[in-house]
Amino acid sequence: MSSSCFLSPSPLSPSTTTTSLVRFNPTKCKALSVSGDYSCFQVKGLTYRPPGTENNLLNDVNFSLHEKSLGLIFGRSGSGKTTLLQLLAGLVKPTSGSIHIQKYDKDGIPNQAPELLPPERVGIVFQFPERYFLADTVLEEVTFGWPRQKGSAQVKEQLALRLQRAITSVGMNGISLDEDPHALSGGYKRRLALAIQLVQVPDLLILDEPLAGLDWKARADVVKLLKHLKKELTLLVVSHDLKELSNLVDRSWRMEMGGILKEEPLPI
Ligand SMILES: Nc1ncnc2c1ncn2[C@@H]1O[C@H](COP(=O)(O)OP(=O)(O)OP(=O)(O)O)[C@@H](O)[C@H]1O
């Protein structure tokens, strides 16, 4: 991947010069290594004002995130972090702005027009995801919403394969699929919540406070798991646990009160 990612001309403003992009393009996509084509998630001009209200909760949010990297958003309570995640996951419609995937060649030049990121390509694990577990078994929890009677054998086979992969990638092979999800340890409940999202094979996985409410061992387990998942997936995390996640973080942003996002090193 190219280190000149942020030097590439913006697909939205082809006449802009390279130099001005380096200075002014807030969605510049920093390359991570040098091995070939790559893609970046690009958030441009995202603003959100809840219908019937006077104030924006998010104000012109711009950032980009390289595939297979981890971005971390931190900031004070009530600044708008969760609201941003909800917009990125397609749960709330932005007042303005867009979320695209931009592909680049190895020299950091966009090699096709940016594509809108469909919400179904985004997975989201909410804060305390175990509170939303409904099923009596791990299998039912992971396969909730899958086609039952309908669907070809081929579709079912594909889903089974994805289930197997998801369970393996979160290190749950040792747990019976008949286990009651509510009886799992705190760390395994978080693994299950991740597996539920991974079955959908998202391009972008969003995590809201993934370490909240866990004991030290489970926290260390989840950090290790995120390190492993980063090899396959792009992760965007909101967290107050900056020290524990710092070794995984490729880019970080502070959300300021009023929904203003600024790139900033972790204050640790
Ligand atoms: N639909 C809504 N209408 C009006 N205000 C809202 C709405 N949703 C959220 N808010 C307000 O927007 C602000 C940002 O909330 P948000 O949950 O995004 O903050 P946060 O940074 O994630 O906080 P925390 O760290 O406590 O989770 C809060 O003041 C919240 O009360």
Distance from Cα 56 to the centre of ligand 1, integer Å? 11
55 Cβ below 6 A of ligand 1: no
Distance from Cα 83 to the centre of ligand 1, integer Å? 6
254 Cβ below 6 A of ligand 1: no
pLDDT for residue 148: 63
258 contacts 83 by C-beta, under 8 angstroms: no
Pick the range with the lowest mean pLDDT from 18-27, 51-60, 159-168. Answer: 18-27
In angstroms, the Cα distances linking 150 to 65, 77, 136, 158, 169 are: 38, 45, 23, 14, 28
User: Which of 55, 81, 206 for a ligand 1 pocket mutation test, highest count of atoms within 8 Å of Cβ?
Assistant: 81
Chain segment 221-249, per-residue pLDDT in tens: 999 999 999 998 999 999 999 999 999 99
258 Cβ below 6 A of ligand 1: no
pTM for the model: 0.85
